[in-house]
Amino acid sequence: MARFVVRRTGTALLVVFATSILVFLGIRAIPGNPITVLAGQQEQNGESLPDLKMREWIIHKYYLNHSLPMQYLHWVWLLLHGDFGENQHQQPIGQMIADRLPITLELAALAVVVAAVIGIPLGVISAMRRGRPTDHTTNGIAVVAMSMNHLWFAFLLITWFAIDLRWLPAGGYRSVHHPLANLEHLVLPVIVVSYGIAAHLIRQTRTSMLDTLGSEYIRTARAKGLREKAVIGRHALRNSMLTVVTVLGLTLGGLLAGAAIAETIFGIPGYGSMLITAVGNRDYPLVQATVLIAAVGYVITSFLTDVVYALLNPKIRVS
């Protein structure tokens, strides 16, 4: 197990390193003067906007008069010291991220819980009722959900629940200091983020439950007279959860995408909507920082998924 974790940590660090190089080179590959790009401003009539003092400051800060590898090392040095630079309005990016990330994490956590609570039981029921109407209905709902786009579904929900029925607010965000208002504003966004994950979970749980139910030890468990509840709960479900954990880990990338769309539509000041706005405004310093942190977060979650998987599955631990 220790060897597995060490090796997996090595791969994760390698991926983070490669990602940071990609992000660094990506920003340098943007056509135009790197000073202008790093100031997050656009060139107008071939002339860059930043004034002389700011130019010198940016050259100094990002080592632009040094070689590319030196620039990279210095940038990483700054990042490791928590200095993410400033965006196009000279606001510290580190602070912006610290303000907005918790909101997205709240949304994402709620969405994962909702998706798991809906998706896994439906998948199990679907597998146990295989070929019957319940199975077909569940499967049909899952395929439709997988094909729906977040945009359309979000607008449908807004039209029904916010405009026609007036049950829920159509957008906005309240801080966690007002828990009820906070949750009220998050109901629709959480549904929008979670339905796709729930659909994937239904299909994946069903497949892996069917795999498990066909195996020898389930037949043995039934043959020795265990009640169906014990067969499903203690034997089949436990083993099929292995695959489900992996799938849940892999959907986390899609989670950020869903959160970005939901936050944009519902006007939630979260991390995802910040990324989208930054891209729209061509605020490159902010894009650089947000993309890098998102990628690192994804690497960490996939690392944790693999470790949990190894903890659950003795076969991987040994080999």
Partner 1 sequence: MTLIDVPVPFTSARARRFRIARARFLRRPVAVAALVVVCLFVLLGAFGPLISPYDPNATDFNHIMGHSSWAHPLGTDQLGRDELSRIIVGARASLVVALAATFLSLLIAVPLGIYAGYRGGWVDTTIARMNDVKLAFPGIILAVGLAAILGPSLRNVTLALGIAGIAHFLRVARGETLALREQNFVKAAVVSGASSWSIVFRHILPNMTSTLLVQTAIHIPGVILGEALFSFLGLGVRPPTPSWGVMVSEGQTYIAMAPRLALYPGAAVTIIALGFNLLGDGLRDALDPRTVR
Residues that bind partner 1 in the complex, under the rule CB under 8 A:
11, 14-15, 18-19, 22-23, 26-27, 29-30, 131, 143-144, 146-152, 155-156, 158-159, 163, 210, 253-254, 256-257, 260-261, 264-265, 275-276, 278-280, 282, 284, 287, 291, 294-295, 298-299, 302
Residue nearer to partner 1 on the CB measure, 109 or 117: 109
Looking at the Cβ atoms of 150 and 185, the one nearer to partner 1 is 150
Q: Provide, rounded to whole angstroms, the least separation between the CB of residue 196 and partner 1.
A: 10
The least CB distance from residue 62 to partner 1, in Å, is: 17
- Strand runs labelled E in the chain: none
Cα distances (angstroms) measured from residue 57 to each of 35, 62, 143, 148: 10, 9, 54, 48
Q: Are 259 and 271 in contact (CB under 8 A)?
A: yes
- In sequence order, the β-bridge partners of residue 3 are none
For residue 265, the minimal CB distance to partner 1 (Å) is: 7
The DSSP-derived string for 3-40 is HHHHHHHHHHHHHHHHHHHHHHHHHHTSSS-HHHHHTT
Q: From the CB of 83, what's the least distance to partner 1, in Å?
A: 21
Return the beta strands (E) in 62-136 as ranges. none
Cα–Cα distance, 66 to 256 (Å, whole number) = 36
Cβ closest to partner 1, residue 103 vs residue 294: 294
Between 23 and 180, name the residue whose CB sits nearer to partner 1. Answer: 23
Min dist CB 132 to partner 1, Å, is: 12
Q: Which is nearer to partner 1, 50 or 253 (CB)?
A: 253
Between 243 and 264, name the residue whose CB sits nearer to partner 1: 264
Q: How far is the CB of 139 from partner 1 (least distance, A)?
A: 9
CB of 179 to partner 1, least distance (A): 28
For partner 1, the closer CB: 244 or 265 = 265
State the burial class of residue 54 (Cβ atoms within 10 Å of its Cβ: 0-12, 13-18, 19+): middle
Token duo for residue 222: 């039934």
| Least distance (Å) between residue 152 CB and partner 1 | 3
For 72, the token pair is 């990279």
Measured between alpha carbons, how far is residue 184 from residues 61, 179, 310 in Å?
Answer: 44, 9, 38
Q: For residues 81 and 247, what is the distance between their CA atoms, to the nearest angstrom? A: 34
Residue with tokens 């043959």: 223
Closer to partner 1 at the Cβ: 26 or 172? 26
Question: Do residues 43 and 300 make contact, with C-beta atoms less than 8 angstroms apart?
Answer: no
Mapping DSSP to helix (H, G, I), strand (E, B) and coil, where does residue 106 land? Answer: helix
